[in-house]
Amino acid sequence: MKLDGAVAIVSGGASGLGAATVRRLVAGGARAVIADRDEARGSELARELGPGVVFAKTDVSKADEVQAALDAASALGPVRVSVSCAGVGWAKRTLDKEGAPHDLEMFRTVIEINLVGTFNMLRLAAATMARGDADESGERGVIVNTASVAAFDGQIGQIAYASSKAGVAGMTLPAARDLAPVGIRVLTIAPGIFETPMLGLLPDEARQGLLKNVVFPKRLGTPADYASLVAHIVDNSYLNGETIRIDAALRMPPK
């Protein structure tokens, strides 16, 4: 898939992995819609990147808001790339030290945003892409979702987050198979420990504890590392139906 001249939509595009992805795709010649709930950051990034980038205030769990963002993307040209980076985290054990069970509404909220929201973006982006013309190879678009190594190595206290991200990884292959007839590829990226706003909420001691399990290179991942993989996925038309770990050989311990 050629990035130059394409239109991309990035959920969670106002900060972290999403913002880096918007920058990378625009640098490659794409126009973009930043779909995010953070109006201040999203609008600022759109102004910085110029007239080929617009902000659309979007809650990914709401169908009408996602569709409005996709309509804004379609106004810029053929929508070829959709990247889902919107997500939340929550640390809570199934039973706490006093024996109280995990809050059910919080579990539902994490699933609603991380899994249902990702599927909502996927299904509506696919419908938009399917109405477009195929390129010379028969391809109409690329959808990239974001899971986490927690989908496979979920730690103590990550049951809601790990469940949501395992769901994202699990729908990758069936989505790719569903959308093959219309020429849309679907892939998922599973980041390890990355420098993101979510990680920034942890105390430094906890951050250093996570870093010791990274194999090589011995550093945290950067949003630019993630964005570079997105750009490669777009470019490499033989990649499809796979969840790709980007984690410097990290395997998360129980805690």
CATH number (domain holding residue 75): 3.40.50.720
Q: Counting beta carbons within 10 angstroms of the beta carbon of residue 168, is it exposed (0 to 12), middle (13 to 18) or buried (19 or more)?
A: buried
- Domain membership of residue 2 (yes or no) is no
Backbone angles phi, psi at 69, to 5 degrees: -65, -40
- Domain membership of residue 250 (yes or no) is no
Under DSSP, the state recorded for 27 is H
Is residue 211 over pLDDT 70? yes
Based on the residue annotation, tell me whether 226 is a catalytic residue of this protein.
Answer: no
Is residue 120 over pLDDT 80? yes
**Which pLDDT value is given to residue 204?**
73
For residues 120-142, give the mean pLDDT.
97
pLDDT digits (tens, 9 = 90+) for 140-188: 999 999 999 999 999 999 999 999 999 999 999 999 999 999 999 999 9
Q: Which residue has the tokens 């909220």?
A: 109
- Domain membership of residue 252 (yes or no) is no
> In 3D, which of 72, 168, 69 has the Cα closest to residue 119?
168
Question: Cβ(25)–Cβ(51) under 8 Å?
Answer: no
- Domain membership of residue 23 (yes or no) is yes
User: What range does the domain containing 102 cover?
Assistant: 7-242
CA–CA distances in Å: residue 73 to residues 11, 14, 113, 137, 143:
12, 16, 21, 23, 14
- Domain membership of residue 226 (yes or no) is yes
Question: Cβ(231)–Cβ(28) under 8 Å?
Answer: yes
Is residue 202 over pLDDT 70? no
Active-site residue identified among 55, 161, 194, 226: 161
How far is it, in rounded angstroms, from Cα 238 to Cα 255?
Answer: 37
Prediction pTM value: 0.95
The residue type at 140: R
Give the number of domains in the chain: 1
